[in-house]
Structure 1
């Protein structure tokens, strides 16, 4: 009694497909930002990131803030944005803390990395150090509402109700159309 080779190959292919499907279903789900945060994508290539703003403060501890866009691995038109704080230690900046600005993949990659992407990025050399960030949603929609954070003892506190707006600090931006008046009939 001979076994047909074609039936054996088809049966093996079905078993391999079933095993691969079971492995995919049992693996823990990872968000696009989680994959990008550790520098990997589903294809094994590094996630595309772009620093979109930075501010260095000369206080007792030299502090540096950066805003970085992380391109989504699920949808290449979307992005997440991270606010990072660095403290100078032994002559170089070391990551102190980081926090997400907005929700995961809630920004559009091209507007948030393009010209006029930073509507507001304000920092101040106080303790706690307040930070405010407002980014371009799209040119037609304009800027997001500012998100406020405080860096207290090297860690971010993201309480929009308690966090103070930076006064007398560094401010950059001016992109987008939010808050601008358009002359009627022009």
Structure 2
């Protein structure tokens, strides 16, 4: 390999690195602050109770601590053929869960509902593989609202 060929590759690699850095900076500058601040979320459980209610559990990753997460329980009512949120509560403490166990396999230890009015609801989630599952949290869904049991 000649010395001139080595220099050309070195210049090309440096030029590509500079171009990539410029492209990333321009792309980041165009990103909206809301998109950058929006927490990552993942639905971890869902249940439909007859034709009246849909209940979901969603893990929300903390924007301050990449290992922390919160869990949102949402209740939806069927209105005019579409699901409309009627209530939401946080399961446990805000940021009180770990993101990776919540979004991995076996994250939901117990999620039980019933199609009655009021509808009992029990939630138990994986704390960590070594600690196991949380104590069950008990709720009641009555007329589209969530109440602690």
TM-score if structure 1 supplies the norm length? 0.60
Q: Which one of 74, 93, 101 corresponds to residue 84 of structure 1? A: 74
**Larger relative strand fraction:** 2
Q: Contact 1:41/1:47 (CA < 8 Å) preserved in 2?
A: no
Match for residue 62 of structure 1?
A: 52
Note the alpha carbon deviations across 1:129-162, whole angstroms, 9 max, x for none: 111100000000000000011111211111xxxx
Gaps of 5+ in 1: 1-39, 164-186
Q: Contact 2:62/2:95 (CA < 8 Å) preserved in 1?
A: yes
- Provide the secondary structure at the position in 1 that maps to 2:74: strand
- Equivalent-residue separation in structure 1 for 2:64 and 2:111 (angstroms): 28
1:123 to 1:101, Cα distance in 2 relative to 1, 3 A = same
The two structures, once aligned, show a CA RMSD in angstroms of 1.8
1:62 to 1:41, Cα distance in 2 relative to 1, 3 A = farther
Match for residue 143 of structure 2?
A: 153
Match for residue 179 of structure 1?
A: none
Cα shift at 1:42: 8.2
Q: How does 1:4-19 map to 2 (within 5 A)?
A: none
TM-score if structure 2 supplies the norm length? 0.75
Note the alpha carbon deviations across 1:99-139, whole angstroms, 9 max, x for none: 11000101000001110000000000111111110000000
Q: Contact 1:42/1:73 (CA < 8 Å) preserved in 2?
A: no
Gaps of 5+ in 2: 1-31
- Is residue 134 of structure 2 the alignment partner of residue 144 of structure 1? yes
**Larger relative helix fraction:** 2
